[in-house]
Amino acid sequence: MASSASQSLPSDNLIHVFWDEGMLKHDTGRGVFDTGIDPGFLDVLEKHPENSDRIKNMLSILKRGPISPFISWYQGRPALISELLSFHTQEYVNELIEADRNGGKELCGGTFLNPGSWNTALLAAGSTLSAMKHIIDGHGKITYALVRPPGHHAQPTQADGYCFLNNAGLAVQLALDGGCRKVVVLDIDVHYGNGTAEGFYHSDKVLTISLHMNHGSWGPSHPQGGTVEELGEGEGFGYNLNIPLPNGTGDKGYGYAMQHLVVPAIEKFEPDMMVLVVGHDSSAFDPNGRQCLTMEGYREIGRTIRGMANKYSNGRLLIVQEGGYHVTYSAYCLHATLEGVLNVSEPLLSDPIAYYPEDESFPTKVIEAIKDHFLKMIS
């Protein structure tokens, strides 16, 4: 059901949020950062970074922050097993079901399927599918799937990086099956959206763009490097654009990449559906990233992607939550991102810790080199 507080606002300037309280029940445990290890000599073990506190603050800032009048709330739902097979293989889904039946399993480094995790993953996937269907059915133009666990690292055949099911990938496939001709996926999480890229690596109907720190492969669960050489294969060649940004890239560097790489790629592709895969671990204060975005940087990204949606997809935009592990600042950055998407004239919320010095000269040189490479390879 939609909330009554926002009913007087125009439907094209509301953000329709899909959420279910059950997504708080994925308990990722404690240990040394994300390892789950207790070495025996530490008095205080920290929560796994992908914990429910981060989402609780995102939820509360949307309900009680200045943006709340612009939010309309909808009930999420669990995905059906049959729906998962549009992106994932039956063998992989069976592996997850078996792990849940046996009481849980560490599927790869830092990625724990614990009791309750499978049901939570189904809720995240189903809520994202519902958010996309809401757009396809004409009930709203901008939807936001406030979901956990995240999904963009999950590949068709394996888990990776805290992700079990690829929420965004499932929604993209639903859009294609629902009549969309071409879909853009812009992923601004600090880590490469390898799972989504893998799922559409041979398709010319999906343009996947990922801005991420230059972290490379991190093992068997994440064999992709996120390099500029990974451009897609077959019919999909030229439809996977990786933009690995140097550590420390901030608002100006991301803005330069958006204007000189992302916007021209979207303009050339001319999509009729837009998906923003948003991770706030690219902020200046996140423990799981090494980039320097502030609220203003996220606000500008949101504003830019809204402009592209208005121009090419009749304003239709799905936003899917991924990372963001600073328990308080991630919520502020989400608020700023959605302010940008709403294209508000003045910031609704000030940045409590914003100032961070940025030297954009090196990122600018890297972005120009990436641009030259793309022009050489796919023009």
202 catalytic residue (yes or no): no
Burial grade of 379 (CB within 10 A; 0-12, 13-18, 19 or more) = exposed
Contacts of residue 372, defined as CB under 8 A and 6 or more positions apart, other chains included, come to: none
Give the pairing of strands 142-145 and 317-321.
parallel
Q: Quick check: helix, strand or coil at residue 238?
A: coil
Among the options 88, 153, 280, 326, which is catalytic? 153
Q: Measured between alpha carbons, how far is 179 from 134 in angstroms, rounded to an integer?
A: 14
In order of 86, 180, 205, 310, 356, the CA distances from 172 in angstroms are 10, 9, 10, 18, 35
User: DSSP code of 326?
Assistant: S
Q: Among all chains, which residue has been given the structure tokens 């970074």?
A: 49
CB neighbours of residue 50 within 10 Å: 24
Q: Measured between alpha carbons, how far is 58 from 268 in angstroms, rounded to an integer?
A: 34
Give the chain's length.
379
Q: Measured between alpha carbons, how far is 280 from 322 in angstroms, rounded to an integer?
A: 8
Residues with a catalytic annotation lie at 153
